[in-house]
Chain A
Amino acid sequence: MSTLAKIISIFFAVIVIVKSFLDYKKGRESFVMFAIWSLIWLIVVAVAVFPEIADDAIRQLGSGQVGIGTILGIGMVLMLYIVYRVYTKSNRIEYQLRELITKVSIFEADEKRKSK
């Protein structure tokens, strides 16, 4: 895998792990999820630094083309980053939406009761 791919992988891995750690510290994320994301991204970095892991896997699947591991590696890094962002955001938004709707419905019922 090229140096560029290694730099990109490590760059995104650092972003995700640091962000996940900060979310965990702020109580926005559980320790289990922080550990899972960290593990996934450490594997990504390992594949980036030692691309023979991915190349071996591709060869096992029947392709003899050298370098396909690099392409797949970059694709996987970007995909995992997107999944991470979507997952954490949607989870948080769902929780906040539920809280907001609960508060609004109770507030409205109280207002209706007061106006009677």
Chain B
Amino acid sequence: MKKLAIIIPAFNEERSIGNVLASVPKKIAGINSIIKIVINDGSDDQTVQKAKKADVVLSHPVNLGVGAATITGFEYAKKIEADFVVTLDADGQHNPKDLAALVKPVLSGQADIVSGIRQLSSKTMPTVKRIGNYSMNILTAILYQTWVSDSQTGMRAYNKKALSAMNLNSIGYEICSEIVGEIRKNKFKYAEVPIEVIYTDYSRKKGQNILNSINIFTKLISLKLTKK
């Protein structure tokens, strides 16, 4: 009985969360049970009400950040003894049809962590975001001595081993790079799978850009120094 937990951190995502949940496939080859978990990170809109199709909604009483919401999701996945975990953005930029390809390497034992790689060279990605993502790839490699094609992707798959071994402390977006650091630290088997990114006017406004890269990098340095 293979259980997959799909973790969707959400902050004020009333416009997209319903569609994201509805588009998650009901069946994935090799998986017996799919549990959709929304982590409402202190939203002050109708995110919770719109997340009716989620199997579980965990609510942070205050907004902390995507890192904190992801960690809450991971903790819950451990509690329900999920065999595999996937993280998905709530803004609708990920295509849930890519889930099957994403989990394949962890299902087969080829990888402990799989990253869904956005095509950073694609012209559909806004220039500001593209520069921000490239910058973060370089900064992540400098800090963690690990080069990955898309360090800031929110779509990743994990097996049980990775889930229990990772020691994450990030509150915000810096969690994406911290996970890259965990790959090196724990010597995880790592794979990358190309994914489609759906850019709408809504999803363009969300996520990271070059301006918050500076903020993320500052937080990463602090994290690197203070992490036990």
Complex interface residues of chain A between 69 and 116 (CB less than 8 A to chain B): 91, 94-95, 97-98, 101-102, 104-106, 108-109, 113
B72: contacting residue among A95, A97, A105, CB under 8 A: A105
Docked-complex contact B171 and A102, CB < 8 angstroms: no
Contact A106 B226 (CB under 8 A): no
> Could you say which residues of chain B place their CB within 8 Å of the CB of A91?
222, 226
A98 near B39 with CB under 8 A, answer no
State the CA gap A27–B228 with chains docked (Å): 7
Q: How large is the interface on A (under 10, 10 to 19, 20 to 34, 35 or more residues)?
A: 10 to 19
Is B109 among interface residues, defined by CB-CB distance under 8 A?
A: no
A29 contacts B62, C-beta separation under 8 Å = no
Among B54-68, those with CB < 8 Å from A are: 56-62, 64, 68
Count A/B pairs, Cβ under 8 Å: 52
Interface of B is mostly: mixed
Looking at chain A's contact residues, is the secondary structure mostly helix, strand, loop, or mixed?
Answer: helix
**Is the CB of A39 closer than 8 A to any CB of chain B?**
no
- Cβ contacts B36-65/A at 8 Å (1 or 0 each): 000100000000000000001111111010
Q: Name B's A-contacting residues (CB within 8 A).
A: 39, 56-62, 64, 68, 71-72, 75-76, 79, 169, 171, 222, 225-228
CA distance A95 to B76 in the complex (A): 18
Asked if B227 and A30 sit within 8 Å, CB to CB, the answer is yes
